[in-house]
Structure 1
C-alpha cells in the first residue's frame, strides 16, 4: 500500500494527496468516512463505506427469501388495517 507524509494544520485539516483522491474517486466537497482503527486512522469514500455496510448486512440476510418483498407485503397489510 502506498503511503505519503502529510501535515495536519492548526485547524486539524489533513490534506489527502491528489493521487490518493483520484484513486478513491474523490472531488472537492465530497464526504468521506473517517474511522479510528487499532493501528491508525482509516479514510474511505462514502460509497466504499456504504458498500462495506451493505456487505455486512448481506452476510446476515437470508438467501432463500426476499426481505424487501416481505417488508412491502407487511406494509400493505398494515395499510389495509388502517
Structure 2
C-alpha cells in the first residue's frame, strides 16, 4: 500500500491526493464513508461501503432466499 504525508487544514479538513482519489474512484463532491479502526482512519467510496454491507448481509442469508420478495409479501 502506498502512503503519503498530508496536513490537516482549517476546519479539520484532510486533503486526499488526486492519485488516491482516482484509485478509490471518488471525485470532488462525492460522499465517502470514514471509519475509525484500531489501526487508523479508513476512507472508502460510498459504493464500496454499500458493496461491503451487501457482502456481510449475504453471508447470513441462504442463497435461495429472496429478501425483496419476502419484504413485498410481508407488506
Task: Please say whether Structure 1 and Structure 2 have the same fold, judged by a TM-score greater than 0.5.
Answer: yes
Larger Rg: 1
Provide the alpha-carbon RMSD of the alignment. 1.1
Q: Summarize the alignment of residues 68-79 of structure 1 with structure 2, pairs less than 5 Å apart.
A: 68-75=68-75
Structure 1 runs not aligned, ≥5 long? 76-82
What is the CA distance between 1:6 and its match in structure 2? 0.3
What is the CA distance between 1:26 and its match in structure 2? 1.1
Structure 2 runs not aligned, ≥5 long? none
- Pair 1:17 & 2:43 matched: no
Aligned length: 75
Which one has the bigger strand percentage? 2
Which 4+ runs in 1 deviate beyond 6 A?
none
Partner Cα distance (1:40, 1:6) in 2 = 15
TM-score scaled by structure 2?
A: 0.91
Q: Summarize the alignment of residues 2-81 of structure 1 with structure 2, pairs less than 5 Å apart.
A: 2-75=2-75
